[in-house]
């Protein structure tokens, strides 16, 4: 069931989303060669609590292997859900993906960015730029009465035009009262039952784009998704709301 949010709930998500955007900007400042990913998590956690929020990823998932951190920090061939670790050192040239979700005044927003560490290769830069553009192209399709399948088509054609592939094993999602609400939002043309967008739907749109094939593997920790071929992957995510006049991006400052 897709939960339509009230004006009040959207206002709270807007407030939380703006704070989350600010947190992400602060995290970007410490993503430099020599930094470890646990340090990024520590700062994220502190900033979330300072702003009166709670880190919603902490403890998420199955009781036997709950997610242990406030953010996901995934490097290079890792796609998403990388677990922060003090021994994981960021190197010059790395693609660093940070994903963070915050509950603020009862409502959740979710976002992710890919950061370059120092100077990166032109192929890595092209993947980063393309993934960001694919998210933007996808967001342009979002409006009242639009078909959700048009979002996936837009993202996929944007990625394919550059010779890249779209991850199929993970999808975007409704967000707000819970981290993961209906609908599921594939970043590719899928055979899923069509969904027509309505005012007040809040969506976490999150294309994951691979330099090589779309195939993924899950690492030993049971969380980290990585590319099967070991090639690079990039990820951008924003929480958006379908409005009367189109779409509003809640997590961009
Ligand atoms: N943005 C990701 C998602 O929507 C991050 C989830 S991490 C988790 O799936 F630990 F909370 F699962
Ligand atoms: Co998400």
pLDDT tens, residue by residue, 94-114: 999 999 999 999 999 999 999
Give the mean pLDDT of 109-136.
98
Q: According to the model, what pLDDT value does residue 8 have?
A: 98
Using a 6 Å cutoff on CB, does residue 67 contact ligand 1?
yes
Average pLDDT over residues 201-208: 98
Contacts of 12 (CB under 8 A, 6+ apart): 104, 105, 106, 107
Q: How far is residue 56's CA from residue 54's CA, in Å, rounded to a whole number?
A: 6
- Ligand 1 center from residue 223 Cα (angstroms): 10
The per-residue pLDDT for 71 is 98
User: Which ligand is nearest the CA of 206, by number?
Assistant: 2
Rounded to whole angstroms, the Cα distance separating 242 from 25 reads: 25
Is the minimum distance from the CB of 115 to ligand 1 under 6 angstroms?
no
pLDDT at 153: 98
Work out the percent of the chain whose per-residue pLDDT is above 90. Answer: 100
pLDDT of residue 4: 98
Could you tell me the pTM of the whole model? 0.98
Question: Which residue's CA is the nearest one to ligand 1's atom 6?
Answer: 57
Calculate ∠ Cα 211-100-215, nearest 5°: 25
**Average pLDDT for 239-249:** 97
7-249 belongs to which CATH class? alpha beta
Please write the tens of the pLDDT for every residue from 66-105: 999 999 999 999 999 999 999 999 999 999 999 999 999 9
235 lines ligand 1 (CB under 6 A): no
What is the average pLDDT across 206-227?
98
Average pLDDT over residues 208-231: 98
Q: Is 57 in the pocket of ligand 1 (CB under 6 A)?
A: yes
Whole-number pLDDT of residue 77: 98
pLDDT in the model for residue 156: 98
72 lines ligand 1 (CB under 6 A): yes
CA 101 to ligand 1 center in whole angstroms: 8
Q: Are 38 and 85 in contact (CB under 8 A)?
A: yes
What pLDDT is recorded for position 210?
A: 98
What's the mean pLDDT when you consider all of the chain?
Answer: 98
Task: Give 159-185 pLDDT, tens digit per residue.
Answer: 999 999 999 999 999 999 999 999 999
| 3-class secondary structure, 231 | coil
Ligand 1 centre distance from Cα of residue 57 (Å): 6
Residue nearest to ligand 1 atom 2, measured at CA: 99
Whole-number Å distance, alpha carbon 184 to ligand 2 midpoint, is 10
Query: 22: pLDDT confidence band, cut at 50, 70 and 90?
Result: very high
Give the pLDDT score at 115.
98
Bond into 183 cis (ω within 30): yes
**pLDDT band at 239; cut points 50, 70, 90:** very high
pLDDT of residue 76: 98
Confidence of residue 242 (pLDDT cuts 50, 70, 90): very high
Q: What percent of the chain has pLDDT over 70?
A: 100
Mutate to test the pocket of ligand 1, among 48, 68, 72 (most ligand atoms within 8 A of CB): 72
Compute, in angstroms, the gap from residue 164 CA to the centroid of ligand 1: 23
Q: Which residues sit with Cβ closer than 5 angstroms to ligand 2, an ion?
A: 110, 204
Q: Quick one: pLDDT band at residue 10, thresholds 50, 70, 90? A: very high
Compute and round to an integer the Cα radius of gyration of the chain: 17
Please write the tens of the pLDDT for every residue from 181-198. Answer: 999 999 999 999 999 999
d(CA 175, CA 217): 25
Q: Is the CB of 81 under 6 A from ligand 1?
A: yes
Over range 50-78, report the average pLDDT.
Answer: 98
Decide: residue 93, CB within 10 A, 0-12 exposed, 13-18 middle, 19+ buried: middle
Q: How far apart are CA 148 and CA 246, in angstroms?
A: 14
Q: How remote is the CA of residue 174 from the centroid of ligand 2, in Å?
A: 9
């Amino acid at each position: 069931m897709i939960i339509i949010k009230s004006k009040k709930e959207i206002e709270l998500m807007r407030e939380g989303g703006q704070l989350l955007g600010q947190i992400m900007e602060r995290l970007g400042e410490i993503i430099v060669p020599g930094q470890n990913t646990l340090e990024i998590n520590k700062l994220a956690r502190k900033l979330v609590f300072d702003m009166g929020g709670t880190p919603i990823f902490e403890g998420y998932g199955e009781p036997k292997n709950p997610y242990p951190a406030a953010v996901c920090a995934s490097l290079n061939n890792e796609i998403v859900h990388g677990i922060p670790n003090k021994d994981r050192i960021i190197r010059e040239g790395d693609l660093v993906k940070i994903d963070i979700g915050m509950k603020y005044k009862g409502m959740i927003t979710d976002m992710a960015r890919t950061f370059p560490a120092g100077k990166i290769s032109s192929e890595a830069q092209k993947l980063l730029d393309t993934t960001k553009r694919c998210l933007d192209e996808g967001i342009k399709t979002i409006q009242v009465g639009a078909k959700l399948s048009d979002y996936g088509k837009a993202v996929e054609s944007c990625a394919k035009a550059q010779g890249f592939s779209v991850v199929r094993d993970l999808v975007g999602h409704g967000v707000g009262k819970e981290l993961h609400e209906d609908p599921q939002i594939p970043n590719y043309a899928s055979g899923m039952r069509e969904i027509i967008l309505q005012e007040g739907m809040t969506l976490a749109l999150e294309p994951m784009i691979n330099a090589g094939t779309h195939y993924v593997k899950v690492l030993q920790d049971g969380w980290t998704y990585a590319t099967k071929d070991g090639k690079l992957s990039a990820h951008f995510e924003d929480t958006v709301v379908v409005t009367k006049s189109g779409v509003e991006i809640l997590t961009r400052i």
